[in-house]
Chains A and B, each alone.
Chain A
């Protein structure tokens, strides 16, 4: 299995809703990442997990809450989002932190906040 699987593929949520994005990989990768990509822009790093521990938070607002329950699974919990949070959320994984082997990306969740 050489994939990163993200669910759901599309999500529409209201500003008062609570929802979660899920990311799963079975490649034995020990580093996992959340990126946010606005339309016609490059991806921007949000969070980095290494061995299930949060390594980096790129000053992301607290309405985004990441969680890594095990080495294969990465969640992003969403609460009280704003319309400007509408974007493509990409999950990625790599063998280790800092190995520079490049990431394997999932196909993303297209989030619309109404």
Chain B
């Protein structure tokens, strides 16, 4: 079965520190997609990145970077020089196909607090 594990329930760091959020997944599929979403206190889920299973290239977007390692089934997310505005709950998610539709299977989320 599809499963996503975010072992870190809560992380608290001081502003400007680097922080890495871990994500480990299990899937029966050879083709799949992984996502990261940010959920600030306002509630909306903000899309951060999508990665397909054939693209293991790491990605950097500003202060954000993602490390996809198929060999260890991990898709970790690093924030460099963290800022207070990065405080949110972060969800890693895996695509699952049911009845021809895409369903997102979410991890339990990591609550990140950046202290000034």
Tell me the B residues contacting A by CB distance below 8 Å.
Answer: 33, 35, 37, 42-47, 50, 52, 91, 95, 97-104, 106-109
CA distance A99 to B33 in the complex (A): 10
Check if A41 sits within 8 Å of B108, measured CB to CB: yes
A55 to chain B, nearest CB (A): 5
Q: A residues within 8 A CB of B33?
A: 100, 102
Check if B44 sits within 8 Å of A97, measured CB to CB: no
Interface 1/0 per residue, A77-102 and B, CB below 8 Å: 00000000000101010100111111
Residue of B nearest to A92 (CB): B45
Residue of A nearest to B100 (CB): A98
Q: B residues within 8 A CB of A92?
A: 45
Check if B104 sits within 8 Å of A104, measured CB to CB: no
CA distance A101 to B52 in the complex (A): 10
CA distance A42 to B103 in the complex (A): 13
Check if A42 sits within 8 Å of B91, measured CB to CB: yes
Check if B101 sits within 8 Å of A103, measured CB to CB: no
CA distance A107 to B38 in the complex (A): 12
**Chain A residues with a Cβ closer than 8 Å to the other chain, count:** 27
What are 27 of the A-B contact pairs (CB < 8 Å)?
A31-B102, A41-B108, A41-B109, A42-B106, A42-B108, A43-B106, A45-B103, A50-B101, A55-B101, A56-B98, A94-B102, A97-B100, A97-B101, A97-B102, A98-B101, A99-B102, A100-B33, A100-B95, A101-B50, A102-B47, A102-B50, A103-B47, A103-B104, A105-B45, A105-B47, A108-B43, A108-B44
Q: A residues within 8 A CB of B106?
A: 42-43
Q: B residues within 8 A CB of A108?
A: 43-44
Q: A residues within 8 A CB of B50?
A: 100-102
Check if A104 sits within 8 Å of B100, measured CB to CB: no
CA distance A31 to B99 in the complex (A): 14
A41 to chain B, nearest CB (A): 7
Check if A105 sits within 8 Å of B44, measured CB to CB: yes
